[in-house]
Structure 1
Amino acid sequence: RIAIVLGRTAGGLTTGILQALIILFLGIMLGMSLPSIQGLILSLVFMILIATTFIGLGLAFASKMEDMSGFSLIMNFLIFPLFFLSGALYPLDQFPELIKILAYFNPLTYGVDGLRYCLIGTSAFSPLTDFAVLGVCCAAMLFLGAYLFETTEVN
């Protein structure tokens, strides 16, 4: 079963990275300044960590769900608040204090901040902090997804 989890993660990661690269390429075509080679490579690392984190989260939920429509409902219910709390649409320093505290517990916050640093050079946190928090969340979600998938009983 671990091979299935790794295969599913690799497949989702490939799709996510290709979509992100298309968006990045379109941004450059529309006038975004090209980041340095180091920034581009580091942004790929952050994209991989973000995608792997949320694929692991999806595997964790999917392994306990019996209904596919229930899975998509739960994931949308979870992903949209995480996206809105990430700082991708609004700067973190403009959030009210309670919302800012919630945003600090959101792994996507650190992924967005790391990408912002790599691509435009500004960030709210240190890039090492972004990388460390996202790396720990990525490992935890992959472990949780693999563990729950391993313990799932098939009827």
Structure 2
Amino acid sequence: MTTTPTSPAQEAGESGLRRELRAVHGLVLRDWLRLVANPTNTVLLLLQPLLFLLAFGGGLSALVPGTAVGGQYRAFLYPGILLMAIQAPAVSVGIRLITDRHSGTLRDVLVTPARRSTLLCGVCLGGCATATAQGAVLLALAPFGGLPYRPLMLAGLLAGLALAAFALTALALLQAVHTRRPETFSTFLGLTSAPLLFGSGALVPLSALPSWVTVTAAFNPLAYATDILRRTADPTAVGGIRWGGWQPPPTLEAALLLLTAVTALLWAAHRFGRARAGV
């Protein structure tokens, strides 16, 4: 049996690929270790969505008619609560990138032989993985959200959470690579996070909101993430995004959200790769 000889160029290419993958793996593992080492932070991040689930899901469920949301309000609210659970840890990746730049920690990471764009992708995947893990904790509370334990539905919700976390992390990094000071980034988050969440239909059906909110929802990535999660839990859910009088299918919404995430990550990686060595 003969084997085809490997050229030096092919060996160099394979070695370079392994180097890039090791860098990504190291960054993802770093975020996992950070998550495991600080469970208190995870509990605090999950506290707000849990309070919303108890306060709004329990208190308003008796006041909101089932016809307005296509069923129990708690079941309508639960996908929005899942999105809230991943929003904070996903966007905090951007803050961490900026603070690491100021503290010099990022400079230590950049001495690795991997490309800068690869390192940013590793940061994005690490943030996406940990945000999804934190959102998955709330999946164990599905009955409290008015949803049954159906493995296929829970798997679909987990996939939707991963996609939403990827999009949020990529968009946060895109903003972070264009921001020099953490205070500026925090101010930007304070001005945009709440309006994007409330304008996504996560808490109230879009059909019940002013018409201009319904129009802007078509450009709100959180609205697509909410719609994907809600229609995964209940295919007959009401109040989702509409283009004119047509409601796009979840597969198309997922494709658009994925395209947005990939575009944002590539743009951020390109900008990060062209930044000065001193960061």
Kept in 2, the 8 Å contact 1:35–1:119? The answer is: no
Following superposition, the deviation at residue 151 of structure 1 comes to: 2.2
Distance in 2 of aligned mates of 1:151 and 1:58: 18
Segments of 5+ residues of structure 2 without an aligned counterpart are 1-115, 241-246
Which of the pair has the greater relative contact order for Cα pairs under 8 Å at 6+ separation? 1
TM-score (norm 1): 0.88
Identity over aligned pairs, percent: 29
Larger radius of gyration: 2
Distance in 2 of aligned mates of 1:80 and 1:12: 20
Task: Provide the alpha-carbon RMSD of the alignment.
Answer: 1.8
Following superposition, the deviation at residue 50 of structure 1 comes to: 0.9
Of 242, 254, 260 in structure 2, the residue corresponding to residue 131 of structure 1 is 254
Partner residue of 1:15?
Answer: 130
Partner residue of 1:37?
Answer: 151
Following superposition, the deviation at residue 4 of structure 1 comes to: 1.4
Distance in 2 of aligned mates of 1:35 and 1:87: 24
Kept in 1, the 8 Å contact 2:118–2:269? The answer is: no
Following superposition, the deviation at residue 31 of structure 1 comes to: 5.9
Q: Secondary structure at the match of 1:73?
A: helix
Of 145, 170, 174 in structure 2, the residue corresponding to residue 56 of structure 1 is 170
Following superposition, the deviation at residue 35 of structure 1 comes to: 5.0
Q: How does 1:1-155 map to 2 (within 5 A)?
A: 1-28=116-143, 30=144, 32-34=146-148, 36-123=150-237, 124=240, 125=247, 126-155=249-278
Following superposition, the deviation at residue 136 of structure 1 comes to: 1.6
Distance in 1 of aligned mates of 2:259 and 2:149: 26
Kept in 2, the 8 Å contact 1:86–1:103? The answer is: yes
TM-score (norm 2): 0.51
C-alpha deviations, 1:78-121, integer Å up to 9, x for none? 22211111100110111221111001111111110110011233
Kept in 2, the 8 Å contact 1:52–1:142? The answer is: no
Kept in 1, the 8 Å contact 2:221–2:257? The answer is: yes
